[in-house]
Chains A and B, each alone.
Chain A
Amino acid sequence: MDIDILKARDDVEQTFFHRGLQPLTKFVMMVTVLVVAGIWLDVRFLAPLFILGLVFAILGKAPKAWFIVMVTALLLTWYPTLRTTVAQVNPEYYNVLDRTWAATPIATVNIKFLNLGEMGLTYGTLYWLAGRIVSFMTVVTWAIFFVSTTPMNEIANTMYALNIPYQIVFVLQMTYKFIPFMSSVINQISDAQRLRAWSLRTINPKKLVQRALPIANPMIRRTAMIVDQVTIATQIRGFGSGKPTPLKALAMKRIDWILVIFFTIFFIVSLVGTIIFNWGAL
């Protein structure tokens, strides 16, 4: 047994969020925040949600690399974000903020082409942009918190306990398990072909298709073989002979109930506040 491999992959620190909360609780927390953060635009409302998610993710020892991916994704979407931002100039879009302040121009231009009207940066558009960025970071941070503190097997067990059809849970599990496996198969095939002087580099579309065959053919064949073997293996292990026994009951503790009730109330109050009192609107 290679000790190094086990250390590198398995000795993930187990925090309170890993062991102390049920997946269902974390799921309710995450979904609540995702919905609320999706409808709120005001950075003052969004910031506390983001900070809370960040604190939870840090306490849950979420990998730092995942935050780097979040920031990278944010930077990569700069063009569509900017395009939407510069279109938020019209002061009538703002019902809560002071329209005069919101419409104060920083750099605007009136585009007559197709009657697009005024576009550019105002205090309002910048405020809208800040809200948009924080909203994105809130959603991703809570997702990181959930994924990094909830092993897939616990999600599957919870789904079984919630009577979600076992075929759906099985497909989910298999997808999760076989994606890294298939990725290693693709790497192996690609390495084997590179050793035969194979390269995909060409600008000729016909050659490009031809050159994809050395990867595609073995890949399709291996996939078919794996599907065949998995089918056999599931039959051998009695899959489909009846409803499986859930391995773990849904054991909600007091802290789980407190959090579920709190976030449910928060969800209802936020929705009501948003509809009636314009919470989170600009």
Chain B
Amino acid sequence: MKTIRYEDFSFRYLHQKKSEKALENISFELDKGLVVGVIGKAGAGKSTLVKTLNGLCPQVDIGYADGNVFIDGDKVSDFEVNELAKKVGIVLQNPEVQIFSLTVCDDAAFGPSNLGVPADEIHERVNRVLEKLELSDYKERSPNNLSGGEQQLLAIAGILAMEPKVLAFDEPISMLDPIGKEQVLKAMFSVAEKGDTISIITESGADIEAIAEFVDYVIVLDDGKIITAGKPSEVLKSPLVNNIGVGRPQITEIFLSLEEAGLKITKIPVTLKDGCEAVRDQLSKRKIKTITIPDNGKKEKRSFGERVIEVQNLHHVYKNGVHALKGVSFDIPQGQMVGIIGQNGSGKSTLAKHLVGLLKPTNKDAILKVGGLDCMNKKVRLGDIIKKSNYIFQNPDDQLFAETVLEEIQFAPRMLEMSKEQMDEEVRHAMDIFGLWESRNRYVYGLDEDLKTYLAIACVLPMHPEILLIDEPTTGLDTQGEILMMESLHRLNQDYGKTIIIITHNMKTVANHCDRAIVLSKGEIILDGHPEDVYSKSEKLLEADIYPPQVTRLGQSLKEYGFPDNVLTVKEMVEILKFNLMD
């Protein structure tokens, strides 16, 4: 008997038309002991698929379902969701809403307690699970005081303590730093290793490398249909995955490019380990002990304007005693595109809030100048600073409130009491930059995630800030959406001379798009420079729980052959390999 069986299953939400389907004719079977990746772009039906495993769809998220789903031989539609909690555990994207209790220990025990498991067994399960996930030291701690990665581990612990047969994770790592992602994935993998559980993880593309390292089987969804499924080594190299906007691991991209250029490759790798082996094979076949770096391997660095941000010795101590920034100093010139990276809780958001005037340094000897304004001067108000520097929060829903796109962008000009002519001109200009004019009468809440982010940025443009800080601009977007978003930011940077500062967990975004990376760890800047220089210092990066992108790590793993330790893009690596491996 298979642990999971879908028989021609279709589902549409209550608000969808009959012709639309969230899932359509889904059929597959999965056996225990597998780690399964469900990949697809945003809106492909991944979360809906996960929610059908225990009947959340259609019982809680109401809709119409056809066909059958069986878990461990039981037909899902015959049971209530909470009855199936014994068999199916789901970990959601946001850990904050799935942690209910007030200590780590009590929260891990919440699920088994609800299932009526005897108290002694609950304690035994909780201890075992917390130990496995390395949370034993935090047993009596409040979950609110854990880092993002640890909270997600606690959410997993709570589900594991219920001992389900099926463990499903709905994009559990998108908001975590690279080490946090690895912690969560390792925990998943160790559960599957036991052999009596299936782990399922969904992914839109940004973390496809991390997923490829851990899964045994991949299901690719597009528009609610399964378009292909199989082993990662077969599926991830398929052009289908690229065509639907998910993207492939950088390692796979490199070898596909080499194959396309005419290099004979027996097996396209999908993981870093396999990629290193494949390069070593190719080099040893040609008896190459040291590679030659082509002259055109490096791109020219851009030049920038006057200094627009000056920060010296900035400290910030919150009222609860947390010393969030400890003597931070840096300058940013006009027109630079900067990526601020660091682990969860490293002080990135606190720093960003200083740069737009939402927070002030707590030490009087700090220097903080933004767009020529001395922010330490008490006469300088938030209203002055936001015309020089503005900040777009990670969740556009915190900002958007109006009915239509047009009304939303008109808000700031209205608050600034601009004349109607000026307002119309500013609004039109902001819309044109992001191609929002066609959508001007659309209902804001019905927009896709990428359009909402564009709209959130467009809303501040009528104030003409020369500096834009954007928090996680690519979170929640698939690979295609990410490319389009970064193209738009480049347009703002290059065509309109805006200084762009992005705060992100996506190391590829910084490598591919930024002129500079600033790495924060525990409130201090530990690295600052061009991404090439920053990513080459992999040991220092570990202090901030950061790994460089996969392509950089490939070069670093092959250092004995003379590979540079600062390769940033797939294109650069392909050129190096082509130069050395092709006649």
Contacts and interface: CB of A to CB of B under 8 A. Distances in A.
Interface of A: 1-10, 151-153, 156-157, 170, 173-174, 176-177, 180-181, 185, 188-189, 191-199, 213-218, 221-222, 225-226, 229-249
Contact of B114 (A5, A215, A244): A244
Contact of B412 (A151, A170, A196): A196
Interface string B430-451: 0000000000000001000000
B371 to A, nearest CB: 14
A237 B322 contact: no
B401 A247 contact: no
B346 interface: yes
Contacts of A151: 102-103
Interface centre among A157, A176, A177, A213 (most CB of B within 10 A): A177
Interface string B34-66: 000000000000000001001010001100000
Interface stretch (B16-24, B84-92, B234-242): B84-92
Given A195-B460, A196-B415, A230 B102 contact: no
B113 A5 contact: no
Contacts of A192: 393, 398-399
Contacts of B14: none
Contact of B102 (A7, A152, A249): A152
B411 interface: yes
B145 A4 contact: no
Contacts of B115: 238, 241-242
A226 B90 contact: no
B411 A153 contact: no
13 contacts: A9-B144, A173-B100, A176-B102, A191-B393, A196-B386, A214-B411, A215-B401, A218-B400, A222-B398, A233-B97, A235-B82, A238-B162, A242-B114
Contacts of B80: 241
A237 B159 contact: yes
Interface residues of B, number: 83
B397 A222 contact: yes
B266 to A, nearest CB: 43
A5 B322 contact: yes
B463 interface: yes
B106 A2 contact: no
A189 B356 CA distance: 15
A148 to B, nearest CB: 15
B60 A237 contact: no
Contact of A195 (B99, B103, B145, B386): B386
A177 B102 contact: yes
A2 B358 contact: no
Interface stretch (B116-124, B254-262, B272-280): B116-124
Nearest to A234: B100
Q: Majority SS of interface residues in chain A?
A: helix
Given A2-B345, A6-B141, A244-B114, A233 B101 contact: no
B2 to A, nearest CB: 22
A236 B99 CA distance: 12
Contact of B523 (A4, A189, A234): A4
Given A4-B523, A221-B397, A237-B114, A153 B103 contact: yes
A232 B145 contact: no
B98 A236 contact: yes
A248 B106 CA distance: 10
A193 B162 CA distance: 42
Contacts of B159: 236-237
A181 to B, nearest CB: 6
Given A236-B85, A244-B116, A197 B100 contact: no
B101 A173 contact: yes
A198 B415 contact: yes
B390 interface: yes
Contacts of B395: 188
Nearest to B86: A238
A197 B463 CA distance: 9
A221 B445 contact: yes
Contacts of A247: 106, 109, 113, 119, 122-123
Contacts of B82: 235, 238-241
Contacts of B353: 191
A216 B400 CA distance: 11
A259 B380 CA distance: 59
Contacts of B61: 232
B94 interface: yes
A195 B355 CA distance: 12
Contacts of B117: 245
Contacts of B146: 1
Interface in B177-200: none
B102 A153 contact: yes
Contacts of B412: 196-197
A217 B411 CA distance: 14
A9 B393 CA distance: 26
A180 B97 contact: no
Closest 6 CB pairs of A and B: A238-B85, A153-B102, A217-B401, A2-B345, A238-B114, A233-B98
Given A217-B401, A238-B82, A238-B86, A8 B321 contact: yes
Given A8-B320, A194-B382, A235-B81, A245 B147 contact: no
Contacts of B106: 153, 156-157, 247
A281 to B, nearest CB: 42
B399 A180 contact: no
A229 B100 contact: no
A10 B104 CA distance: 12
A120 to B, nearest CB: 44
B83 interface: yes
B454 interface: no
Nearest to B445: A221
Contact of A196 (B85, B397, B459): B459
Given A151-B102, A238-B115, 8 more contacts: A2-B343, A191-B353, A192-B398, A194-B386, A195-B460, A235-B60, A242-B116, A245-B113
B574 to A, nearest CB: 38
